[in-house]
Amino acid sequence: MKLFIRISFWLLCGALAAEAAQKFNQITLPPASRIKHRRPYQSEVQQPAAVQQEKQSISEPLSWRYPSLPDEEEPRYPPNFELKVPMPAESVSAICGDRTIRVEVKKDLLGIGKPVLGSDVTLGGCVAIGEDLDNQIIIFESELHGCGSQLLMSEDSFIYVFTLFYTPSSLGDGTIVRGRDVSVSIQCHYQRKHDVSSGLLRPTWTPFTGSKDSEESLYFSLQLMTDDWQLPHPVSHFLLGDVMKFEASVKPFHHIPLRVTVDSCVATVVPNVDTVPRYSFLGNIGCLFDSQLTGSSSQFLPRSQDDKLQFEVEAFRFEQDHSGVLYITCSLRATSAAAPVSATNKACSFSNGWREASGNHHACSCCDTDCGKDGRSELTVLHWNEKLLLGQFS
């Protein structure tokens, strides 16, 4: 059955092919001589004409010029006209007390006959405590070390510098102001006595009960010094990374020779040693902990004379505080120079172990425990407080 179908398919294909060939042979083509091949006309193929170029010359120079600007005329004023020249207004006064300052500001601060808003005036960031409406006066009061004051020291005086700020409020929709920012520097000068290095010193005297029949005065000093230890540091400004150099001394005058020591030092952000945060970098009766706790280079320098003691502390700040202000409060003490260096009469700093400034290192063995307080033959104790301003490298 399969063989029959395949043979029938080939027979059908052959018949169709034969019929197609017969029809093709019936088509007649014209003779080859009658087939014309078209050639392009000569006019259709042209060569481009030669381009003649010619350089144009300028026969006459250009006469056009930029127009000149008219001469600026001098300003003309009406007869007897005078330009107003700003004059300093005597509108700020200050009363410097022993511990505080009182600043009175006229509401016509700028001297132009227009009062300013009390809320636009601050003393180092502190707002006014009140206003005298009858006399149109704004009143400020502050402690000498408050309201952003700066303490400057000269050879003969202390200078507390305050800055009064006026920042005019915006008007209308908050886009314009009718005034200019003003800052006024206010200074309180205090005579520097007895080589005391801070106006905040309030020594508490303890009677000397030795062989002297009468009590004599002792004069302490704790000063920030320059890098060469030759002069007091002119300002209390330091950068993080600086080394603050302190020099403690006592002037015995008619006393027997004395040895000065620094029992403790505490850093705070306000002038109060009992607040937090606080950092006791020197304590336990003369142990400088900062180098042990932080790996810093803080240290007591070798003692060269009994009535003077020098120590260095790397500048620091508290982690969560960015005010740039640091208060250092230290306790100084004087004892007889003949008394031996001991656990309660020493100056120890840490560098691969505790080292004492006079060389008696065994006296520092209690720095890691408790050096106690018994047996101290103290003559007097002085609490010293200094405000430091700290900056950072940007």
Could you report the per-residue pLDDT of 300-315, keeping only the tens digit for each? 999 999 999 999 999 8
Q: How many beta carbons lie within 10 A of that of residue 222, not counting itself? A: 25
pLDDT for position 181: 83
Q: How many beta carbons lie within 10 A of that of residue 343, not counting itself? A: 23
Exposure on the CB side of residue 280, measured as CA atoms within 13 A: 12
Is it true that 92-191 and 219-391 share their CATH fold?
Answer: yes
pLDDT for position 376: 45
Superfamily of domain 219-391: Zona pellucida, ZP-C domain (2.60.40.4100)
pTM, to two decimals: 0.46
Who's near 161: CB < 8 A, 6+ residues apart? 149, 150, 151, 152, 185, 186, 187
Distance CA 331, CA 179 (A): 49
Distance CA 359, CA 278 (A): 31
Distance CA 39, CA 30 (A): 21
Who's near 39: CB < 8 A, 6+ residues apart? none
Distance CA 235, CA 149 (A): 12
Q: Which amino acid is at 138?
A: I
Q: Are 291 and 297 in contact (CB under 8 A)?
A: yes
The tokens describing 310, both together, are 């020098």
User: So where are the chain's domains?
Assistant: 92-191, 219-391
Pick the CATH number of 92-191 from 3.40.50.2000, 2.60.40.3210, 3.10.20.30, 2.40.50.100: 2.60.40.3210
Residue 227, Cβ density class (10 Å: 0-12 exposed, 13-18 middle, ≥19 buried): exposed
Buried b (16+ CB within 10 A) or exposed e, 102-120: ebbbbbebbeeeeebebeb
Q: Are 137 and 162 in contact (CB under 8 A)?
A: no
pLDDT for position 12: 53
pLDDT for position 309: 95
Provide φ and ψ at 210, rounded to 5°. -85, -140
pLDDT for position 168: 87
Q: Please list the ranges in the chain whose pLDDT falls under 70.
A: 1-59, 69, 72-73, 75-78, 81-89, 171-179, 192-217, 253-255, 373-394
Q: Which amino acid is at 78?
A: P
Largest alpha-carbon pair distance within the chain?
A: 163
pLDDT for position 201: 42
Q: Are 226 and 233 in contact (CB under 8 A)?
A: yes
pLDDT for position 110: 81
pLDDT for position 271: 82
